[in-house]
Structure 1
């Protein structure tokens, strides 16, 4: 009908503009159904109606022969007996008594199948499905029927009218939750339809956050109905509603992709785009959005301080990322690097501070430096470990010339700088700092006062003042203590070689420095081995008598037995001259 009206208007305009003779317009050849031809009456005013002439051929290009003439203008159909049931091609001519006028033939239609309408692409656009197809080659097409596969089967969902209409938006589809499958059939006015061709389906994208892998795993069904292969697939993503960005190009057979560059809490929206080889047709998948809530590993674990307590246990301090999903922590401890064993473990609890300290109750830092490492385990079973760190170990011994010689190892922790070492000495409940010749020296010689009985035992401890550069870029100062050692001075013995009871040196006794807490015994013998005097009090000397009897001037033998605390027993044998 549309074609006939167009020809009528076109020829009328041509006639008026160029003063040409009118043409005889054909009937509107609508369709053929079961060898029955249907048309609409032509409109011609050049003369009276004579007939509608029907021509046929077994070939689309002819030759055509007159099959029949319908002389009743009210008859708008004709049934061809077609005894052999062959495929035939028909066109119609209007026969009006219009001398000298040319009759225009109608479209040529066939009693065979209607030309197929092949889907070119199905794509998800803005949450709806767009179907684009190729127009049928049959001229009598008046509409296209859109079919979609549903739980009830493959059913028509809509009909679009117009032979030139080649696209459709399915607003009732649900491509975000399922793959949608489509067919398009061309239809003529008689209800004849083209064949069902291979269906086209949307690309259905699914995504899952892999919490422990810190990734989002994508999976989809690539486009499968194009006549050409898929040239490439593109992965697109947007963040928090921003613009789409292409992040990957894949081959045509891939159906999975892992997106690993994710940030906690970001909303990611993904789209898969398939491009057909040669035609460059594009099919988009549904948009799949996920919130990246992942299990964060421990990435900022750093040992910051190791401080020995008075009881030789060790306080371990470290820095960690409180955003990590931690399950537990433990200390590894040992005396040699690379050979550390678990010594203490705990649960992180509620993390509100990224700096934490815990005491290793089983540590004993009194014998040597201890090496520590902090190790964590997160909810995904991933472990993280700090660098190793080493405590300060202080050692010493009574030195020459009434002094204590002290040495200590350096505090060793990565990214922790020692600013200064300080040495402290204590006696009883008092403590004072021992001046050092340099801030980073690792040794000292501390004099003791022989006139001060409390100097017999002095305890020492080293303090390191440090600055740690933390993983977040900040710095923090720490105090790291060494173990405490106590040094006991051995008694210093001075023995006179003579004495004079009537002179200035009236008694014979040894002079002992740092004599507290010693066991003492002194015996005096004459030359014949007779015991003249014995005492267990080092302050009580021999006055040159045996009992009340004064011994004559001469040389006498002494035997001293001294048993100091915390050292080996001493025995000294010698002679002393008694002068009268």
Structure 2
């Protein structure tokens, strides 16, 4: 019995000795020094603190402040003597790493039930957020400040980036809570985070934000091509500009630009608005031109939704044709400027001609293309029909080339140009009504095709013996071509006609009737 009493006394003595360093109901224990709260790459939140030197320490409580209820919630208890870091797993009820900022702290307890105060050592997480500037191809990052370092608020923030799964690298620092990342590559995949470093970057303590992933597929899509297919003259005051566009690009408008001289600056003369589902082949009619006086240069400018010029097409230059006639040689000389701007270059020029206002359906001739000015001489000395007016146009033909949209080789027409030859008339001085080859007196007109015609024959006494308004009708020597044959001798003719351009011609002379 005595031994049992002694044993109980020893236990009580041991308990009293163990608790001799703490007293229940003592003032709050010293606050635990928290080094940092940080987000790990996998989304876990880790809080680390310095071991407390409180006597008779029992445990550490991990505290989270609830901004809704304003309560300090104990989310975990860590026995003393072990680790001084605690991880809050991603996806757990107390982890808000990528949705909101939360404050976490550590409370120490001793064996007597005494504890440090809540809230004295709270550290907040840093929430990284971003906005995209599609026009500048940049990303603007913002975050809440980390002002809980024990060393003070002199914090340096460093931005880290990983592009297309490459290792993270530092890409900039700031003392502010915002930074802009520029030079985003369209189509790349990025990850970013911010690291807060105490002592203006000297450390050693740091805190990191959540990692944000960004796929750069929402930026404006640039065009892959913009091709000026051809510029062709349709009328003296109309040039059609045809071009092919990349409809997958984020275009706002296509500006048609023009100039006359190579040294001039391009000026916008019209525009075509882009829209979803538009035809990639566009034809613009430029009516503010004088194609009979000069050639024109054209190019197309694509402006995107941010009002930025993203691409300018190749330059196309129209064909300008000039012509002059040689009235003695009865030739027409054509000169024209080369078409410029095709992928396949110009291989040939087709020359088309009209006589008396009627265009020939096939080319007069096809000539190989020369660099610079081209020339062709048309001999019209054997061309008797028509009114003396010859009109021409040139059609340039492109060689083979791989075009966007598999477009066929292009063609471009020049302006029309006309020259006139004055009517030529041959009037015989004699005829024999009984002859096989020269039995009718009829003048031969070349380059005439008159609007009006009159031929009158008078005898030596001034009596009219024949009259016609038909250029194809001649005098057969009889009175009005059906009466008595007139006597051998000289007769006076009077020939008048008005040419197609409206010019009057008159001829008077003698013709001898013989047998």
Give the TM-score taking structure 2 as reference length. 0.74
Task: Identify the residue that residue 120 of structure 1 maps to in structure 2.
Answer: 35
The CA deviation at 1:177 is 0.5
Cα contact 1:309–1:481 (8 A) shared by 2: no
Structure 1 residue matching 2:409: 3-state secondary structure = strand
Q: Choose 1 or 2 for highest CA Rg.
A: 1
The CA deviation at 1:175 is 1.0
Alignment counterpart, residue 341 of structure 2, candidates 397, 408, 413: 413
Does 2:210 match 1:286?
yes
Deviations 1:137-161 (A, max 9, x none): 3343332222222122241322212
Cα distance in 1 between the residues matched to 2:84 and 2:273: 69
Does 2:110 match 1:188?
yes
Equivalent residue runs for 1:29-428 within 5 Å:
73=13, 76=16, 114-125=29-40, 126-150=42-66, 151-155=68-72, 156-163=74-81, 165-171=83-89, 172-195=94-117, 196-226=119-149, 227-230=151-154, 232-239=156-163, 242-264=165-187, 266-277=188-199, 278-292=202-216, 293-298=218-223, 300-308=225-233, 315-327=240-252, 329=254, 331=256, 338=265, 340=267, 342-343=269-270, 345=272, 347-350=274-277, 356-358=281-283, 360=285, 367=292, 369-376=295-302, 378-382=304-308, 385-386=312-313, 388-400=315-327, 401-413=329-341, 417-425=345-353
Cα contact 1:544–1:551 (8 A) shared by 2: no
The CA deviation at 1:462 is 2.4
Deviations 1:253-286 (A, max 9, x none): 242323441323x443221112223332221101
Give the TM-score taking structure 1 as reference length. 0.67
Cα distance in 2 between the residues matched to 1:510 and 1:415: 55
Structure 1 residue matching 2:345: 3-state secondary structure = strand
Cα distance in 2 between the residues matched to 1:163 and 1:552: 152
Instruction: Please identify, of 392-401 and 542-551, the stretch whose mean Cα deviation from structure 2 is larger.
Output: 542-551
Q: Relative contact order (C-alpha < 8 Å, sep 6+): which is higher? A: 2
Cα contact 1:453–1:516 (8 A) shared by 2: yes
Cα distance in 2 between the residues matched to 1:161 and 1:74: 22
Cα distance in 1 between the residues matched to 2:15 and 2:334: 128
The CA deviation at 1:287 is 1.2
The CA deviation at 1:418 is 2.9
Does 2:488 match 1:571?
no
**Could you say if the C-alpha distance between residues 419 and 193 of structure 1 is closer, same or farther in structure 2, counting changes exceeding 3 Å?**
farther
The CA deviation at 1:559 is 5.5
**Could you say if the C-alpha distance between residues 338 and 160 of structure 1 is closer, same or farther in structure 2, counting changes exceeding 3 Å?**
same
Tell me how large the CA RMSD over aligned residues is: 4.6
Cα distance in 2 between the residues matched to 1:312 and 1:188: 99
Cα distance in 2 between the residues matched to 1:361 and 1:339: 14
Cα distance in 2 between the residues matched to 1:550 and 1:256: 116
Cα distance in 1 between the residues matched to 2:129 and 2:381: 83
Alignment counterpart, residue 431 of structure 1, candidates 325, 337, 362: 362
Structure 2 residue matching 1:413: 3-state secondary structure = coil
Deviations 1:221-260 (A, max 9, x none): 23222214556432223345x2442251212224232344
Cα distance in 2 between the residues matched to 1:260 and 1:516: 73
Structure 1 residue matching 2:29: 3-state secondary structure = coil
Cα distance in 1 between the residues matched to 2:156 and 2:400: 52
